[in-house]
Structure 1
Amino acid sequence: MSTTTPQAWGRTKLWGILAAALGAGLALLAGLGLFIWQVLADEPPQRPAAQEVAASPVGLDEATLAQEGPARREQIAGAPMLTVDDPRAYRQGQVAPTVAAPLGVPSPSTTGPVGVPTGYPQTPEGAVGQLAAIDVAVIGAMSVPGTHEIYRSWSTGDADPARWVMTGNVTDFLTAAGQSGQTKEVGLVVTAVPAAGQVKGTDGQDWVVACVLLELHARLVEEARVAYGHCEAMTWTGDRWVIDTTRPVAPAPSTWPGTELAAQAGWRPWVDSH
């Protein structure tokens, strides 16, 4: 597993940006903003030079990829995505004049471990749907113990759940929003709605790097909203998709849905397919 180090701008600058935001609910906005900081603070996983892949907003060039197996998976997982420099991009932006092709994501057919919806088909779009279901469950609970339980139930290997990006997101939100303990307080409602998704790459029928763009809402008297992009390698195990903990994945761009920047980043509007 690769290590991560802070990039040029981190918590101090982010707090300045959030403090300058207009309207009420700044504590909630700060908490949601630190969700995004987790991504901004991470550098893409390091890869050997021979496997370097250029960033692409809509996918990888098959001609540059290994045919199959570990080398191909490492290339897909580690290939950098669009870099978003504007710190306002996760909560606003210019509406795109063109219409991106929608991504049809199947609906779940049953409930799996820890109450997470599942039953998605063994397709790339099914992997996107499963990752979104995992993320929605984590965000809705906004609990450190709950996040650990979800990660253990929906991932491979023995990776430490404390090191998962979503665990860091939850702890930063609870801290910034002034919550007591490791679980959100009664009265605070946090929800996530999938707004867009993309399939970064595949290796056969049992491995996908799936990406989801979530619209996050937090309400405690006032409401705050931001967008959050998240990618994970997903592998088919038994009868469901789970997170492949052996593959570090480059951070996804967090852009407000429907904007020009979101289109450039490769995000496709989320459409439920049946």
Structure 2
Amino acid sequence: MRRRPDIQRSGAPEWSPARLLAALVVSAVVALAVLAGLVLAVVGGLSEEPDERDAALQAAAPSPDMSRHDALAAAPMPTADPDDALPGPVSRQAADVLELPRATGAGAADVPTGFPRTPEGSLAQLAAIDVTAMQSGSMDGVRRVIAEWAAPGGPTPETWSGVDGMASLLSAAGLSGAGSPQLAIVVRPVMGLIKGTVGEEFAVVCVNFEFTVTVEQTSRIAIADCQRMSWAGDRWVIGPGPEPAPAPSVWPGTDTAIAAGWRDLRHV
């Protein structure tokens, strides 16, 4: 009878797949920490400092002379800590769902378009604008998008928060405004919310994006964007007036994101 070969065993228990994955993540923390600092520059570019934001909200507080559009845009949103934007534990809760229409064509600056005149259509259009702009990875790319997709009186290639965010990212990476072939930005709209509407042709909507930025190493972070959306002819554009109060940038799918009112996006 053939004997089984002897197998030497250590006193330590065998590692489970979960523990192996945890060790893999820990081994990447040092490299990711460097990139997290770079990507956090984008959050700084898209968000005002707390004192500036509070002052702006007080200055824009609803008044008898303020239009319904301005009052809706200026109404404060929940806040979150900067660390909440970094990857965190996925919630066991099921978030509410927002069903978004799909694009039916490509518009100016290669931005997907053809969304219906509904609040969900305006949110889908904002997501398409932001994704196209930020994935361009260059100042020219973001400027070209906002020049084509903002109404008169809205954000400009000099004032849009997306332009400021791209400038912050490129500066932190030590790159010029032209970007670099080594820079890769992938932007996924994961959660969203409809702050409110005024009639059928105006909405304030917000999208919570998952940004994946690679410059030699890869890091991920959540960045939120809220905009006034106005119906112009046959499409949604970013509307006139100051950009709305910012929404919290919170890692999608976490308890914190769900508590802040974010809903999962589902394309139908």
Residue aligning to 2:172: 176
Q: Is the 8 A contact 1:30 1:173 kept in 2?
A: no
Q: Identify the match of residue 31 of structure 1 among 30, 38, 49.
A: 38
**Equivalent residue pairs, number:** 236
C-alpha spacing 1:30/1:183, structure 2 compared with 1 (3 Å)? farther
Residue aligning to 1:163: 159
Structure 1's unaligned 5+ residue stretches are: 1-20, 53-65
Are 2:248 and 1:253 aligned?
Answer: yes
Counterparts of 2:208 and 2:201, CA distance in 1? 22
- Indicate the larger mover: 238-247 or 88-97: 88-97
C-alpha spacing 1:264/1:246, structure 2 compared with 1 (3 Å)? same
Q: Is the 8 A contact 1:27 1:178 kept in 2?
A: no
Structure 2's unaligned 5+ residue stretches are: 1-27
C-alpha spacing 1:186/1:199, structure 2 compared with 1 (3 Å)? same
Opposite residue 160 of structure 2, the aligned amino acid is W
TM-score, normalised with respect to structure 1 = 0.80
Are 2:217 and 1:217 aligned?
Answer: no
> How big is the alpha-carbon RMSD for the aligned residues of Structure 1 and Structure 2?
2.2
Residue aligning to 1:140: 135
Residue aligning to 1:199: 194
Counterparts of 1:219 and 1:151, CA distance in 2? 24
Residue aligning to 1:152: 147
Residue aligning to 2:5: none
- State the Cα distance separating 1:220 from its structure 2 match: 2.9
Q: Identify the match of residue 128 of structure 1 among 113, 123, 140.
A: 123
- CA deviations 1:139-179 (Å, max 9, x no partner) are 11121122111111000115432111111100000011121
Q: Identify the match of residue 88 of structure 1 among 60, 83, 95.
A: 83
Q: Is the 8 A contact 1:27 1:176 kept in 2?
A: no
Residue aligning to 2:29: 22
What's the secondary structure of 1:192's corresponding residue?
A: strand
- CA deviations 1:98-121 (Å, max 9, x no partner) are 212111111100000010000011
- CA deviations 1:44-70 (Å, max 9, x no partner) are 543568727xxxxxxxxxxxxx9xx96
Larger Rg: 2
C-alpha spacing 1:49/1:233, structure 2 compared with 1 (3 Å)? closer
- State the Cα distance separating 1:233 from its structure 2 match: 0.3
TM-score, normalised with respect to structure 2 = 0.82
- Indicate the larger mover: 206-215 or 91-100: 91-100
C-alpha spacing 1:26/1:98, structure 2 compared with 1 (3 Å)? closer
Q: Is the 8 A contact 1:107 1:120 kept in 2?
A: yes
Are 2:49 and 1:43 aligned?
Answer: no
Counterparts of 2:32 and 2:87, CA distance in 1? 17
